[in-house]
A and B are shown apart, each in its own frame.
Chain A
């Protein structure tokens, strides 16, 4: 049986479109990073090549393991990730006011990046185990454990504080939960929650009322820079010299790219360091400024190809766990892309979040590649379940 299962692992089932899209995007990322880290910055693109190598090795490695092993290991992996996140409080390295990294030798590991994968796997396992063919729709009660699985790590990430990753995790979990076909009261509940959220935002930020005697729901609990980012997002032309400076500079970089861009290594906003974190969070501004609208659109299409390829894997999966993992990974990539590009173009408030495959960073690259490895894995093993 085991042997037969092994035999049914087919290289022909590797999702080549997905893998091709991923490798092409990563290559574009390195090319772009070479410009973003031009002298006098240190040429970090070389390290990124190394990370990409590690990532490819991870895809191959993960695709060789039967993902059902992973399914059994999901709970320990999930718990390990949570322990790692909590461990940050003890051993974490503090930078820019957030405890987000473990420092191991020359590497800085960001456990939150791996937590996303752990959460996706855990949710997939929950929805797999909770499969009730006679009762396909999920009610509130059945969603409580799922919500707990998602919210517990999110809460830890939120207090680090890493608002961007936390938001992304919430959206990813929400996508998976909605994908699991909840009952209509859940939709209504979410709709009400959404409206409530908008109401709070309106009450805390938009409503015409002097700052002093305004009754706020959550605003007073936010850190000052988070507060400034939200108000800056809602009113982009205010405080251009202060809290909105980076958002505006990023928009200037993107907008000044035009149709054809300023050319590789020619971006002035990039070269003159008007972009904060230009090789990580604001990498897309560099790309848009130098490559222009046409190629930016192509980059978006590449992400589209990756997402479609990933969902193709979900479509071809022959059992629930694989399908949920695939959808979860896709949701993770989608929300990260959406949030990152949305923030550098002024559509969303500025939160620290990387652009998958484009941003510089080992943890980011490795976590995306683990996800892709899982997709390849699921795709390659779909023959195992053929009867």
Chain B
């Protein structure tokens, strides 16, 4: 029976070929084996490293930025949650067709906004598709609820609270506190070039841009932590069975340092409230240390808006505003000081021996030098004046005469010694040096060189002399304290996040201007007379229970015409700057206040009242603080050791369950409170008295008197 196998001879001739085929197969397997050896043994280390790289993703744990507080602990700058909308393109199904139009409708986007988001989502490629893209920041509560309600129609859209810098005082102190925005890529390379290991900054990080935020960036910014999280090929973070993220090599973030400013927030808000004009500055510094207690610069901007929330249109608007809100008027704008400069002229006259206290000048309403007549502000003249009256009534003729006698250089010498013509090294904000003219200066700058008339102009704070309010504050502090020129400062200390003092800044004495007690007395007395004697230019702003010393100033902006115009008859830009420079108490000076009201009118009426209001507040606060701190501070009692709950009474009434539960929780928490007395109402009480609500773990940080409080003594 043949089943189709025609030739049933044994295929002997195939045998050698089978061996050849077998040899070939084994050779093939050998090739594979050798290749495996090459990969798995020779290059093992290399591939193992790559597989570890694959497995772990370095995730940055952001460190919280330090807070900025005032000297009493009140928070000026902290973080608030900003509800932001994110899209993760990889998880966003039908993103372009459905999700984004839906978001557009829900959030009321303009077509421009929508196109920007579309562009962002479409341009994400590869692993970028698993990264969140911010599409809108700062949702309102209503928008948040709306999106939350539609979350099932919005796959791949996340709503997350993100910490955002919050400037609690709004536009107050904006120039000093500064603001933040994203680092540029050039800055990034520069900032990260120093560190070999992990770069401190990443794309999208914010950095301080002005003020304290910028100059103390390295302190405020903490150190980001790192954690190696196990991720799969899709970049999803892996979790163990109980839902914890699998991680390794955790480096905890170090929170940024807190800054304590020398500002008193209460004084600051009073200064903001009473500041009279549209533009100008108020500077209040401690006469004995140079620390700034309040600082107003008007008009201002809102750092909350500038911190990553500002539109290009708004930026243009801010920069084109003729009032220049971005300019830090206390330090980066200089003005003719007007009559407030006369203390410098008087001190120069006394020191150069040109005048003594008894030297008298008869004012006939002006002073003749050569063919020109320099007018005094009172056309009818002041009659015979000495230093005291000249200062009190701000008689120009007296100072014309003095400068005519001594020339410009003694004035310049004293002015420069007091810090004029150079920056004060305030440090946290931009400054201009101002101008303190001298013979050399005029020979260099003015066509025709120095002439006597320039000295005359300078002597009354006109002409080329220009000062910043901050410089003037330093000058008056030096006059008040007997010649000590301090560098103005605003940061008192740097604290760790836990409140330990890391660095304490003391007063920095720049130099001491030699000044005899006699000269000091003459100057202070004359300044007291300005405010406290009838006929003084600042008499209306005198204080009742403290002696204030001060000097008004009215700095001309436009050239005087033939006819004197009243303030109301001039256009805004032609009006005079109103100045008031003051310190109090006059004999034991504590606070120096400089007010400049740009185009405000007269110093006596448009600047001095603000200064006296701030002084009133200052001394009121001092009295209040003194009373408050006068009470001996008692630390909270340590909680009594709570016994273990007894079995009796064995049964708990149903209504009491919550109360008992809370009372039992108290055992570990150590809350200073008798568990029986306060049991059920803890959560229900809307506003518990502060001493009860405060956890005793931090023993009343704000209520404790600051360790070095000069005002309290």
Binding site for B on A (CB under 8 A): 1-2, 5, 66, 68-69, 71-72, 128-129, 131, 133, 136, 175, 179, 181, 241-242, 249, 251-259, 268-269, 271-274, 288-289, 292-293, 296-297, 300-301, 303-304, 307-308, 311, 314-315, 317-321, 323, 327, 330-331, 334, 337-338, 341-342, 345-347, 385
Contacts and interface: CB of A to CB of B under 8 A. Distances in A.
Interface string B13-45: 111011001100110110111011101110110
The 8 closest A-B pairs by CB, nearest first: A255-B47, A68-B3, A256-B51, A272-B232, A293-B40, A255-B39, A256-B47, A274-B233
B16 to A, nearest CB: 10
A68 B4 contact: yes
14 contacts: A2-B1, A181-B13, A255-B43, A255-B47, A272-B238, A296-B36, A307-B22, A307-B29, A314-B14, A314-B18, A319-B8, A320-B14, A323-B18, A334-B25
B21 A255 contact: no
Given A129-B6, A308-B22, A269 B51 contact: yes
Interface of B: 1, 3-11, 13-15, 17-18, 21-22, 25-26, 28-29, 31-33, 35-37, 39-41, 43-44, 46-48, 50-52, 54-55, 126-127, 230-234, 238
Nearest to A347: B35
Contacts of A179: 14, 17-18, 21
Nearest to A315: B18
Contacts of B26: 304, 307-308
A71 B3 CA distance: 9
B22 A311 contact: yes
B3 A254 contact: no
Given A319-B11, A334-B25, A272 B55 contact: yes
A319 B36 contact: no
Contacts, number: 167
A273 B234 contact: yes
A128 B5 contact: yes
B54 A272 contact: yes
A285 to B, nearest CB: 10
Contact of A273 (B9, B37, B39, B233): B233
Contacts of B55: 268, 272
A71 B2 CA distance: 12
A71 B17 contact: no
Contacts of B33: 297, 300
A331 to B, nearest CB: 7
B246 to A, nearest CB: 10
Contacts of A1: 1
Contacts of A345: 32, 35-36, 39
Nearest to B37: A293
B233 A319 contact: no
A307 B25 contact: yes
Contacts of A252: 47, 50-51, 54
A304 B54 CA distance: 34
B230 A272 contact: yes
Contacts of B21: 175, 179, 311, 327, 330-331
B40 A296 contact: yes
Given A255-B39, A256-B44, 14 more contacts: A71-B4, A179-B21, A256-B47, A258-B44, A268-B54, A293-B41, A297-B33, A300-B36, A303-B29, A314-B18, A317-B11, A321-B5, A342-B35, A346-B39
B29 A304 contact: yes
Given A255-B43, A273-B234, A293 B1 contact: no
Most B CB within 10 A of own CB, among A129, A256, A273? A256
A176 to B, nearest CB: 9
A87 B284 CA distance: 93
Contacts of A254: 36, 39-40, 47
Nearest to A72: B4
A297 to B, nearest CB: 6
A224 to B, nearest CB: 17
A323 B36 CA distance: 32
Contacts of A274: 54, 232-233
Nearest to A275: B233
Given A297-B33, A331-B21, A347-B35, A323 B44 contact: no
